[in-house]
Copies of this chain bind each other. A is one copy, B any other.
């Protein structure tokens, strides 16, 4: 009598009900703490449930109630990038607070994959999506494809669709960093950046350009390099810039990889010249251990995720249609000193 039912067939509510000689509805009520059931019966049911190790099937529940699946889809380009894993941490944190879980999808920066992933997540009944778009084409996130699943874009504003988004203050952060360099007396500031087709690339360049303009400095094209690529490319660009007779006295880098490239180029440089200052977007681990001072634009990537998830749940809860909203996450300027 102590043997369990066939293990390949998972335990169902009816199994529990039949053992007790009650209806499945009674078990359901007992489990969900609903009223309409006697206390004694409830205890009997809960005891049997515990004894059998029965667990309700949340999928079936959601099917009937038509209620939320308490599932959020998170679509990122590449989880290995610390920015996205931090973002995931933030999304997860808020989801758990609302009793939801995160379903993951990586796109490897491929728009076609992104489309498939989004479709799959929708078919799996997610209540909402947080998407870091792989490209500027957001047509697969339009209303007709999503029905009424809310979406929040992260790190990129929506194009031709009406959805919420969470952005980083790319413009303000870069402007502040550039100002800091200007305050320190630099007039010839080189910029190592991203292609203008990227929102991020365009905004960060704008911050750089405005800070210069505000200081009455003209943008010198010889001091500007905007490329898509890794730190090797950035290193070459920095090296070329520093080889100019009137080379920049400071470099401003638009992201992590450019910063690393610049660091390498600076280190390659003979020590006899004036030191070249460096500031960059994105904080760098162990920046404190480098033997040159580094100013970085830092921000809380997890906060981007938290904000995105919060927008999602707010929209889910509100009955009235909300206008598309845009949240911008602030940046901080950090001066990493040289140790000792």
User: Which residues does A use to contact B, with CB under 8 Å?
Assistant: 7-11, 53, 55-60, 62-63, 66, 69, 71, 74, 78-80, 82, 85-86, 88-89, 92-93, 96, 101-106, 119-125, 144-145, 147-148, 260, 263-264, 267-268, 284-286, 289-291, 302, 339-340
Copies, count: 2
* Cross-interface CB contact of A147 among B7, B145, B148, B268, cutoff 8 Å: B7
Q: Which residues of B contact A80 (CB under 8 A)?
A: 85-86, 89, 302
A-B contact pairs, 7 of them (CB 8 A): A57-B123, A63-B63, A82-B82, A85-B85, A92-B106, A102-B103, A264-B339
Contact residues of A: prevailing secondary structure: mixed
Taking the closest CB of chain B, its distance from the CB of A143, in whole angstroms, is 9
Nearest B residue to A56 via CB reads B123
Determine if A88 and B92 form an interchain contact, defined as CB atoms under 8 angstroms apart.
no
Query: Cβ of B101 and Cβ of A120 under 8 Å apart?
Result: yes
Assess whether A103 is in contact with B101, with CB atoms less than 8 Å apart.
yes
Contact across chains for A125 and B58 when beta carbons are under 8 A apart: yes
Question: Contacts A80-B85, A267-B340 given: A59-B125 contact, CB under 8 Å?
Answer: yes
- Residue pair A289, B267 in contact (C-beta under 8 Å): yes
